[in-house]
């Protein structure tokens, strides 16, 4: 479960394989998941919860490691993806809150969801529910991201335009794309109730990310920097300059999403014509 401050990614573009980056601070120096699993007969999920509990009890160790980095480094905390840490337990939130208070950090939570989940209405609703629960649980400036957007249609075509999924528009339309088998009536009813909860909160939306596209990465970084205030660090301290940046949109969402759709998604008419030709 590596945590890092100032990390560098190296990858072979032709193979699209990310190599393991070097962490400035590695939690394995404090406790190792493999040791916990072997000693306490735990699986990977239970082992990670144990490790996070241990880290919370030894938060002073992490503070001492981070203290020399605060002045001139941009900190990136890389958490494992197990939802138990953010959905069912409070230890991760407690660790984050203690670091914010003691080290005066301004953090943004970046939550990555695989974009191909949009191809299945049930999986998409599950991703929405997880995103909403994580937002409410962590109580941080929060950015949800549809990652691997370049692979979004590898598991099938989307039922709607991309902006339906990024803006989380009227979810009642998803009902028509669920399985209509009479035996699935309870499943459809549950899905409808969950959609109503998500709509009522109105908090969830998504940015997009293609890790191999510099522009895509840059747009996401700008959004993160704006949400945690880092974007203000290099400007004049006048109120006018601050207000200009705060009020200026990074880009019109509609046009940005339309550009992503045009780049990564096939046009329905083209798909139909291609299938007829074959």
Per-residue confidence (pLDDT) for residue 199, from 0 to 100: 94
Q: What is the 3-state secondary structure (H, E, C) of 44-93?
A: HHHHHHHHHHHHHHCHHHHHHHHHHHCCCCCEECCCCCCCHHHHCCCHHH
**Calpha distance 116→152 (Å, rounded):** 4
Q: What is the pTM of this model?
A: 0.80
Ranges assigned E (strand) in the chain: 4-5, 11-12, 17-18, 75-76, 109-114, 142-147, 206-208
Closest CA relative to residue 16, chosen from 216, 150, 112, 206: 150
Per-residue confidence (pLDDT) for residue 251, from 0 to 100: 53
Per-residue confidence (pLDDT) for residue 187, from 0 to 100: 86
Per-residue confidence (pLDDT) for residue 36, from 0 to 100: 95
Per-residue confidence (pLDDT) for residue 52, from 0 to 100: 93
Closest CA relative to residue 33, chosen from 71, 2, 67, 69: 2
Per-residue confidence (pLDDT) for residue 37, from 0 to 100: 95
pLDDT one digit per residue (tens) for the chain, 278 residues: 444 444 333 333 333 444 567 888 999 999 999 999 999 999 999 999 999 999 999 999 999 999 999 888 899 999 888 888 887 788 899 999 999 999 999 999 999 999 999 999 999 999 999 999 999 999 999 999 999 999 888 888 888 999 999 999 889 888 888 777 677 788 888 999 999 999 999 999 999 999 999 989 998 999 999 899 887 766 655 555 545 555 555 554 555 677 788 777 776 543 443 333 33
């Amino acid at each position: 479960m590596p945590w890092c401050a100032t990390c560098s990614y190296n990858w072979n573009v032709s193979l699209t394989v990310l190599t393991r980056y070097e962490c400035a601070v590695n939690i394995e120096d404090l406790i190792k998941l493999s040791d916990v699993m072997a000693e306490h007969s735990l699986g990977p999920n239970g082992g990670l919860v144990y490790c996070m509990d241990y880290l919370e009890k030894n938060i002073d160790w992490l503070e001492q490691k981070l203290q020399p980095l605060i002045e001139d480094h941009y900190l990136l905390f890389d958490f494992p993806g197990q939802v138990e840490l953010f959905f069912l337990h409070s230890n991760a939130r407690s660790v984050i809150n203690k670091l914010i208070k003691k080290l005066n950090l301004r953090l943004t939570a970046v939550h990555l969801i695989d974009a191909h989940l949009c191809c299945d209405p049930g999986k998409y609703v599950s991703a929405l529910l997880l995103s909403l629960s994580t937002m409410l649980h962590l109580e941080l400036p929060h950015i949800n991201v549809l990652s691997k957007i370049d692979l979004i249609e590898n598991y099938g075509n989307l039922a709607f335009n991309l902006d339906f999924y990024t803006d989380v528009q009227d979810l009642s339309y998803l009902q028509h794309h669920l399985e209509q088998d009479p035996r699935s009536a309870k499943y459809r009813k549950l899905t409808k109730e969950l959609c109503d909860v998500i709509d009522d909160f109105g908090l969830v939306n998504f940015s997009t990310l293609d890790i191999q596209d510099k522009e895509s990465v840059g747009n996401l970084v700008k959004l993160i920097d704006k949400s945690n205030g880092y974007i203000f660090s290099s400007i004049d301290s006048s109120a006018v300059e601050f207000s200009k940046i705060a009020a200026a949109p990074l880009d019109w969402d509609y046009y940005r999403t339309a550009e992503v759709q045009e780049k990564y998604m096939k046009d329905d008419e083209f798909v139909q014509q291609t299938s007829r030709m074959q």
